[in-house]
Structure 1
Amino acid sequence: MSRRSTDLRTGWRLVGIGLVLTLVVLLASSGTLAAGAMADTESVSATGTATDESPHLATGATDGTEPAIDPALENATGEVRVVVQFDDLERDEIPDGEAAIETRQAHANASQEPLERHASETSGVTFERGFWITNAAVVTVDRERADVTELATIDGVSGLYADTEVVASSGTVDGATTAATADAGEEYTEGLETINVPQAWDEFDTRGEGATVVVLDSGVDGDHPDLEVEGWKDFSSTPSDEPVDYDSHGTHVSGIVAGGNASGTQIGVAPEATLVHGAVITDCDEECRGRQSTVLEGIEWAIDQDADVISTSFGWDDYLPSMVQAVENANDAGTVVVAGVGNGGEGTSIAPGNVYDAVGVGASSKTDSVIGFSAGEEIDTADAWGRHALDSWPDSYVAPDVVAPGVGVKGPVPGGDYASRSGTSKATPHVAGTVALMQSATDEELTPDEIQRALRETAWKPDGEPDEPDTRYGHGIIDTRAAIDAVGDHSSVEGTVNDAVTEEPLAEATVEIVAEDGTVAEIETDEDGTFDRFGLAGDEEYTVVVAKEGYETIEETAFVPTDERVMIDVVAAGDGELEVTLRDTHFDAGIEDGTVSLNGSRGIYPGTTLENGTYVVSDVPTDEHYTLEASSDGYEDETRRVAVEDDAATRTVAMTGDATLEVTVESEEEGDPIENASVVLERGDGESYEAANLTDESGQLTVVIPGTGEPYTVEASAPEFASTAVESEPIESEATESVTVVLSEPLLPIPGFGPAAAVIALAAFTLLAMRVDRRD
């Protein structure tokens, strides 16, 4: 065989191998595409439980040239429910305010009239109902008798979609549902603490009063002690007149929005908000299911309830066109739509949480990180929404907008119980409750755009996270207090309350800020004696009333300009007074040059001198006991434990000198000590006192006296001796001085007579001598 023939055979073999390989690759590719298509045919999800089901996509042009048709409709058999989507109005055709709803309703009626006429004329097509919240209608089509695609030929139809189901589950993403009665020792749930709800309550004096929250979910236990349901509608096929939960998901979610503290722990963000519940997820044989059409009906009903915010903890793994209009129209009606972005993890999102104008919510953990199951993705507006996107939307954006606590969140469940659950279902009501507080805290009607912007701008991230929005945190973890402060013109009054005497800060003082119309905002000072009250209407004068036990009530006035902060420093005087008299125990007289003070937990309250040794300690709080401290130069310090009452009280403190005088009394002629001599001391002001004791056998006596730096006149007397007085040296504080008093004997020491008798005898003798001399 020639070399040429061998080469040809080798070449044909290579060609054959190449053809076989190519066929294998083509078959493998075909199988992969088919698998992918099958995976894309299912479309249910919820924020309450994780799902790995794929998005439900519609085919057809999205540039306005022809309606999009849901692939699920093309191969459906039997009766199918179809959501027929119509073109919406242009933005410049919609008026502001309440007229927007009327305009949309009129436009929806006009748009859907041809569909109603088609249904009435076509066998196998039944018009169920129309919506204005999104310009859409639901029809039932019997595929055996009618062609679904004919609906796409009706004027104004932009798309045909299966009335898809949505699932909400009471379970947690990790399957760990824990029954719990209360958090012993906790005043608030950890979630409320994380987003600064208690601080917002205190500073803005609101717990949601005047705001209405509509929760659309599986129903609610209206008898739960932590819930007060003020509005209810059951959208099931056999509706209940009274609130009922077909699962437990709705009760748990409602409690996080507006629950109370019957368990001992505050569980709801806005407990004073008006809680309204619509049961739209009611088919709960195995897992709770609802339909797109039912949810749309629920949103319309929520608008009729004057909802400030709608909370939806469920959604579709899809960019659902009906949700775009529903969110947009709700916003035009002044209602914020808060929706979870799902539990599918990074790279996923669900509607309506992924609608740009909704507030999409992800879930943070107890460590402020974003939990792994929390959904998040960057959304290309044109690719995701096509013709349904609004011109005002950016080219791309991220979902979620913000995140909130969604792991181990405690809330109520039917039967008066409590449970800890996880999911973006549990993060969503934290945000919905915050929106209620934001609206409640301002007199202005906030727009959904203002609320969404404030939530985004005041959210925060842990250190190390990117500053720009990302697919995990969005803009960050919400801060309720900061979000409230960011909306409206919130003026504020802040200041300090200190003791008027000691200048110590006064904690737990009650501060009432009274508006001109009598509205009162009440807060307490912190441990530093400071107070800070936000959320005040500006451009008016307020009366600031400060009260604390043991103190006089103080009133200050302050004019508060719009959107400004006013500082007020208040000094509070105690409402008690103590009058103290210092008495010298020796001379029985008042001590003029002493000091008196009361020493208490807030410092020292000094006394001032009145007269005659009397002192007064004023502005003393009457809420505690004090140590009375008295001192004066030359005296021993004295202390007493005293209570100060509301009325002026009096105390007398006897003070003893701190110096000693050693007195020696002796006779003039012999220098012998004189026993039992008495000693009288006199000071410069003429006051005197007699020592209680007499001299001893050595003629000595030690006397305690005030060491005031002055001399004393010391007079000693004894029987059969003439009294004698001498002056001591000046005696200083704590000094010991000595003085000797020498007594002389009587002039005529006649036995049995004392000095007085001798004087009389001497006088008689002198008179007798004078008479004798005259006779001579």
Structure 2
Amino acid sequence: MQRRPSLARLGLTMAAASALVFPTAAAQAVTASPDVSTPVAISTPEGETMSYIVNVSKINYGHLRKAERGITAAGGTIVQRWPQIGVFVVHSTKADFLSKLRSSKNRAIASVGPTRTAPVKEGTPAGAKPGKNSQKGTQGFLGYDTGEATAAGPALDPREGEQWNNTLIKADKAHEITDGSRAITVAVVDSGIEPDHPDLQDNIDVRRSVNCSNAGRVDTSSTGWFATTSGHGTHVAGTIAAARNKIGIVGVAPGVKLASVKVVNDDGFIYPEYAVCGIMWTAQKRIPVANHSYYVDPFQFWCDDQADQAAAKEAVRRAFAFAHRRGVVSTAAAGNSAYDLANKTTDETSPNDTTPIKRELNNTCHDIPAELPNVVTVSAIDKESELASFSNYGNGVIDVAAPGRAILSTYPGQRWASLSGTSMAAPHVAGVVALLKSTHRDATANQITAMLREQATDHQCPAGDKKCTGTPAYNSYYGDGIIDALAAVQR
């Protein structure tokens, strides 16, 4: 997958950055291998509620209405409409729904495909009987070293001195200038945030928090965005913006606000319809920064040459493109499989909601959202600034690097915990982006991203490490370098 080189190496100035057009999915397809990836059979038993994505071919009223009529005629129930990007989330109990819609010759429909390989548990608005699903999700690649959660300490006993990560990226120096602006909100697109954590409660933007984990529908209930079965989102939130309040730790941008955008269900899955809902909510609410520390279930890699995967992947791509047009800077974790994303071979972990199979991959197969356009992709480093052993990497894929091993942050139960993963690295970048946005309020998403990458500290490949390719200015482990919070507030 061809990614944009840094603006500094292109010789572009900031004035030109806003006009820069990054490669689209269509442009990237030119480099795709002609080999066919391994198909995954998806069973749709009669009577079981299955979930689908339908993408329209043109985003206008006529095509949307024609697509709706086709969906209904084939036996589908529309769960959520996203007319801005021409996407429908649909449930059906009909075994032949997919084949009927694909053979209908409805020109308003560009693609249709399932969003999961297991039946739906949450049901539909029409009250269809939920399907059975006894599997447990992996929360995309949200697996990490659980570390040790520690009880709340004395109110005046800050643990900022334990935050090697903030020192490494010079966030501590940046805080001598600014903690960030209260006018900036960062969307934590994740598993929810503990609402009464003492290090977070004053920074949560309740009005712009939402739950998207119920079939991909927008749930604005007062408690829907709370953390329920996972502490992941709470940990991510603290890294971004734990408050400067003489309690616990300090986030990279402790002065900004946080929106809890919940996209993880209680079984640990982040299905495409959940992710699309979260991204679209962020864009519609004009939240300027969003962190995505997950990959979209049930596939670690979604392949364009497989119709049953391409439709959902396209819907997620459309959502991120819409968010980018609305000025959202999206940061995403690269993943924890020590995988070279630029040279894919096989995957033995997907689909993770039924029975995984060994799949042969080609260049149309991507980790989403990490490998989508309009996303800042982040690898993880340790205290010595070396690539963490678990971190994915890839020449032309990684944009920047950030601390991701043994990161102390907030955790449910009004505690703090030390966790590891690229999930922990990405929120450092979201925090620096929030500082950039705080000090450059009128900058576009492209300009903010360009500054982030230009300001990053170059880091060369380890001597003798043949997996790391590139130059000190840009390589497969560090991208454009290690992020720099101080530079973000000095410019």
TM-score by length of 1: 0.45
Structure 2 counterpart of 1:119: 71
Structure 2 counterpart of 1:278: 261
Structure 1 counterpart of 2:453: 456
Structure 2 counterpart of 1:290: 270
Trace 1:642-661 onto structure 2 (pairs within 5 A).
Answer: none
Trace 1:526-541 onto structure 2 (pairs within 5 A).
Answer: none
Q: What per-residue deviation string (whole Å, max 9, x for no partner) do you get for residues 462-492 of structure 1?
A: 455632422211111111122344xxxx5xx
Does residue 212 (structure 1) correspond to residue 185 (structure 2)? The answer is yes
Change (3 A) 1:217 1:401: same
Change (3 A) 1:233 1:421: same
8 Å Cα contact 1:282-1:290 kept in structure 2 = yes
Does residue 327 (structure 1) correspond to residue 320 (structure 2)? The answer is yes
Q: Secondary structure in 1 aligned to 2:458? A: coil
Structure 1 counterpart of 2:332: 339
**Structure 2 residue aligned with 1:84, among 54, 67, 71?**
54
Does residue 360 (structure 1) correspond to residue 377 (structure 2)? The answer is yes
Change (3 A) 1:299 1:481: same
Change (3 A) 1:168 1:315: same
Q: Secondary structure in 2 aligned to 1:476? A: coil
**Residue type of the alignment partner of 2:56:** F
Structure 1 counterpart of 2:19: none
Structure 2 counterpart of 1:199: 173
Count, aligned residues: 378
Provide structure 1 residue ranges, at least 5 long, that are not aligned to the other structure: 1-61, 89-106, 379-397, 491-776
Q: Secondary structure in 1 aligned to 2:324? A: helix
Change (3 A) 1:138 1:256: same
Question: How far apart are the structure 1 equivalents of 2:443 and 2:172?
Answer: 22
Question: How far apart are the structure 1 equivalents of 2:169 and 2:55?
Answer: 39
Question: How far apart are the structure 2 equivalents of 1:136 and 1:187?
Answer: 47
Q: Secondary structure in 2 aligned to 1:399? A: coil
Trace 1:265-664 onto structure 2 (pairs within 5 A).
Answer: 265-284=248-267, 288-316=268-296, 317-319=300-302, 320-348=313-341, 350-378=367-395, 398-442=396-440, 444-462=441-459, 466-485=471-490, 490=491
What's the CA shift for 1:374? Answer: 0.9
8 Å Cα contact 1:82-1:138 kept in structure 2 = yes
Change (3 A) 1:167 1:109: farther
Q: What per-residue deviation string (whole Å, max 9, x for no partner) do you get for residues 245-283 of structure 1?
A: 121111111111111245645331111212111112122
Question: How far apart are the structure 2 equivalents of 1:479 and 1:302?
Answer: 25
What's the CA shift for 1:371? Answer: 0.6
Q: What per-residue deviation string (whole Å, max 9, x for no partner) do you get for residues 150-192 of structure 1?
A: 3363214333232138742897534534436468764462211
Structure 1 counterpart of 2:232: 249
Provide structure 2 residue ranges, at least 5 long, that are not aligned to the other structure: 1-28, 31-35, 118-136, 303-312, 342-365, 463-470
Change (3 A) 1:158 1:143: same
Structure 1 counterpart of 2:92: 141
Q: What per-residue deviation string (whole Å, max 9, x for no partner) do you get for residues 521-542 of structure 1?
A: xxxxxxxxxxxxxxxxxxxxxx
Question: How far apart are the structure 2 equivalents of 1:407 and 1:341?
Answer: 14
What's the CA shift for 1:139? Answer: 1.7
**Residue type of the alignment partner of 1:289:** F
Change (3 A) 1:326 1:436: same
Change (3 A) 1:145 1:245: same
Change (3 A) 1:447 1:179: same
8 Å Cα contact 2:66-2:108 kept in structure 1 = no
8 Å Cα contact 1:212-1:274 kept in structure 2 = yes
What's the CA shift for 1:223? Answer: 0.5
8 Å Cα contact 2:270-2:295 kept in structure 1 = no
Structure 2 counterpart of 1:189: 163
8 Å Cα contact 1:362-1:427 kept in structure 2 = yes
Greater gyration radius: 1
Trace 1:33-72 onto structure 2 (pairs within 5 A).
Answer: 71-72=39-40
What's the CA shift for 1:366? Answer: 1.1
Question: How far apart are the structure 2 equivalents of 1:179 and 1:157?
Answer: 52
Q: Secondary structure in 2 aligned to 1:139? A: strand
Question: How far apart are the structure 2 equivalents of 1:345 and 1:132?
Answer: 38
What's the CA shift for 1:239? Answer: 7.3
Change (3 A) 1:482 1:457: same
Q: Secondary structure in 2 aligned to 1:168? A: coil
Q: Which has the higher strand share?
A: 1
8 Å Cα contact 2:458-2:473 kept in structure 1 = no
Report sequence identity in percent. Answer: 26
Q: What per-residue deviation string (whole Å, max 9, x for no partner) do you get for residues 45-95 of structure 1?
A: xxxxxxxxxxxxxxxxx89xxxx999557643343211122346xxxxxxx
288-297 or 180-189, larger mean C-alpha shift: 180-189
Task: Give me the CA root mean square deviation.
Answer: 3.0
Structure 1 counterpart of 2:114: 162
Question: How far apart are the structure 1 equivalents of 2:265 and 2:246?
Answer: 28
TM-score by length of 2: 0.70
Q: Secondary structure in 2 aligned to 1:241? A: coil
Highest RCO, 1 vs 2 (Cα 8 Å, sep ≥ 6): 2
Structure 2 counterpart of 1:731: none
8 Å Cα contact 1:171-1:421 kept in structure 2 = no
**Residue type of the alignment partner of 1:195:** I
